[in-house]
Amino acid sequence: MSLPSPSRRPIRRLYAFYRDADYFRQLFSLGAPIAFQQTVIALLNMVALVMVGQKGETAVAAVGLAGQVFFLLNLALFGIASGSAIFTAQLWGKKDVANLRKVLGLCLMFGLLVSLIFFLISECLSAQILGIFSRDPQLIDVGSQYLRIFAWSFFFFTITYIYSLILRSTGNVRLPMFVSTAALSLNTFLTFGLIFGRFGLPEMGINGAATAIVISRTLECFSLLLLAYNQRTVVAATLKELLAMEYGFILSVLKPVLPVALNEFLWSMGTTAYSVVYARIGTGSIAAINMIATIDNLAFAFIIGIANATAIMVGNRIGSGEEGIAYKYAGRSLGLGALTGVILGGTALLSADGVLSLFKVSPIVLRDAQVVLLIFGTLLWLRAMNSIMVVGVLRSGGDTLFCLFMDGVIIWVVGVPAAALGAFTFHLPVYWVYLLAMTEEVTKWFIGMPRYFSHKWIHDLAQSVGAN
């Protein structure tokens, strides 16, 4: 009998590691609807930005800067909801519906408080906030008008977002996908009509895009709640069930959730600092970055699907006491994330000219966007692994303090200083500054991979609330 050659042994081990039909079945059933939903969101957002782009690069930049406020709200909610989803995924693994609904109630309470703060800031201090990003008075004026309309969607988005994320953590990914897809399709129709005055609607310019968001988000919220309660899903809690929490329960939940919220706050502030750096380089620079952001969102849809599906699978397995399987699931997803990043990065590079030509911007802005896209496509595999590591692996295992260091601190210690140095000390073009910002991702990868192999990230959090 001949032995396999040394060169074939790693391939055989790799094949054996991924030879698990149950893993792929779960990953596809959970991840595909999430990826599809994110793809639809990214595509329709891209279409909306292309519509706005017909009004020129100032309009693109204005919407992008106003969107930074929503971006911060989105990440704050993600910190609260994903931190809560750590519990709900593990509680669902134990079929503890009562405590799951308590976590949902706590999540809603904090989420609505945060959305109120962002709403008041957007309505009362819009010009001052946008003035942090840019010194262009026209850009600030246009962006402020847009933001004050857009802010009315914050409360409805918060409720939808939290219910959707908790539903996903219990394996119900199809209902949020259906509702979100329908709402975004309506938003695209209204955006076109209200920007250009079509279908009998008034012509409102880019303010029409903000109005379309408010209408579609409102309908999305009511539709999701109606369907969730009508179908008697696990989140169909009464007000009494949502508020039935004791002091000890709240402390048990907040202990791992607060590091997640702080993590997202620090990371979002760091990402906002990047935007400030790009915007201070010039209006054309922030327009170029916003153009690439639409492609980034589209490519990352599949990675988000893998990350969220992994979080559900790993959390459920830890909750049911199968920590060994959770470890293997996490490792498989990290490998798939790297492969997906390589494929999607290459696809983005091949389609660059066709996508960027849709925007009516100057040749200089177009050239900057093309170079940024080259860097983006080359390093997407690295960002994919880091995203799955944080959201799908470490966080779902309850290792939130380490995530705080890896995701919330490194951006300020490495990425932001490097980008600021490139922009303000060496006065580099936006694409070199973008590359310097990516040093954050390299550092996170070298820190995160040893943590995965250590097994120290696995914690059964469901036991900490089971007695409350």
- Print the SS3 string covering 336-352: HHHHHHHHHHHHHHHCH
pLDDT tens readout for residues 90-110: 777 777 788 788 888 888 888
pLDDT tens readout for residues 254-278: 777 778 778 877 887 888 889 889 8
pLDDT, residue 100, reads: 82
- Tokens 């693994």 correspond to 93
pLDDT tens readout for residues 142-172: 788 888 888 898 999 899 988 888 888 777 8
pLDDT tens readout for residues 63-74: 777 777 777 787
Q: Tell me if 2 is assigned to some domain.
A: no
What is the mean pLDDT of the segment spanning 424-446? 94
| Least confident piece of the model among 77-81, 173-177, 194-198 | 77-81
At what angle are helices 283-319 and 57-93 packed, to 10 degrees?
A: 10
pLDDT, residue 2, reads: 47
Distance CA(205)–CA(63), nearest Å, equals 11
* Greater model confidence, 346 or 2: 346
What residue type is 105 in one-letter code? G
pLDDT, residue 45, reads: 64
Q: Tell me if 4 is assigned to some domain.
A: no
Q: How many domains does the chain have?
A: 1
pLDDT at 411 over 70: yes
pLDDT at 335 over 70: yes
pLDDT, residue 348, reads: 83
Overall pTM surpassing 0.75 (yes/no): no
Q: Tell me if 150 is assigned to some domain.
A: yes
Q: Tell me if 5 is assigned to some domain.
A: no
The one-character DSSP state at 27 is: H
* Greater model confidence, 9 or 101: 101
Q: Tell me if 72 is assigned to some domain.
A: yes
* Greater model confidence, 34 or 122: 122
Q: Which of 109, 115, 113, 107 has the alpha carbon at shortest distance from 151?
A: 115
pLDDT, residue 352, reads: 73
pLDDT, residue 43, reads: 67
pLDDT at 466 over 80: no
174 by Cβ neighbours in 10 Å (0-12 / 13-18 / 19+) ranks as middle
* Greater model confidence, 60 or 397: 397
Give the percent of the chain with pLDDT over 90: 25
Per-residue pLDDT band at 119 (split at 50, 70, 90): very high
98 by Cβ neighbours in 10 Å (0-12 / 13-18 / 19+) ranks as exposed
| Residue 170: φ, ψ to 5° | -95, 5
What is the mean pLDDT of the segment spanning 23-36? 83
Rounded to 10 degrees, the C-alpha dihedral 189/193/198/202 comes to 150
At what angle are helices 21-53 and 174-196 packed, to 10 degrees?
A: 10
pLDDT, residue 56, reads: 64
pLDDT, residue 6, reads: 52
212 by Cβ neighbours in 10 Å (0-12 / 13-18 / 19+) ranks as buried
pLDDT, residue 329, reads: 93
* Greater model confidence, 249 or 187: 187
What is the mean pLDDT of the segment spanning 116-137? 83
* Structure tokens belonging to residue 297: 């969102």
Distance CA(40)–CA(431), nearest Å, equals 28
Per-residue pLDDT band at 227 (split at 50, 70, 90): very high
pLDDT at 429 over 80: yes
Opening angle at CA 256, ends 68 and 467, nearest 5 = 140
pLDDT, residue 41, reads: 67
Count the residues in the chain: 468
pLDDT at 467 over 60: no
**Is there a contact between 80 and 161 (Cβ–Cβ < 8 Å)?**
no
pLDDT tens readout for residues 342-372: 999 998 888 777 777 777 777 888 888 889 9
pLDDT at 465 over 60: no
pLDDT at 437 over 70: yes
pLDDT at 132 over 60: yes
* Greater model confidence, 132 or 333: 333
pLDDT, residue 263, reads: 82
What is the mean pLDDT of the segment spanning 309-319? 86
pLDDT, residue 3, reads: 44
Residues spanned by the domain of 326: 17-466
72 by Cβ neighbours in 10 Å (0-12 / 13-18 / 19+) ranks as buried
Q: Which of 252, 253, 296 has the alpha carbon at shortest distance from 274?
A: 296
Q: Tell me if 3 is assigned to some domain.
A: no
Q: Tell me if 9 is assigned to some domain.
A: no
Q: Tell me if 386 is assigned to some domain.
A: yes
Opening angle at CA 103, ends 102 and 109, nearest 5 = 90
Average pLDDT of the chain to the nearest whole number: 83
What residue type is 281 in one-letter code? I
What residue type is 107 in one-letter code? C
Rounded to 10 degrees, the C-alpha dihedral 171/175/176/179 comes to 170
**Is there a contact between 209 and 191 (Cβ–Cβ < 8 Å)?**
yes
Question: Residue 145: how many CB atoms within 10 A of its CB?
Answer: 18
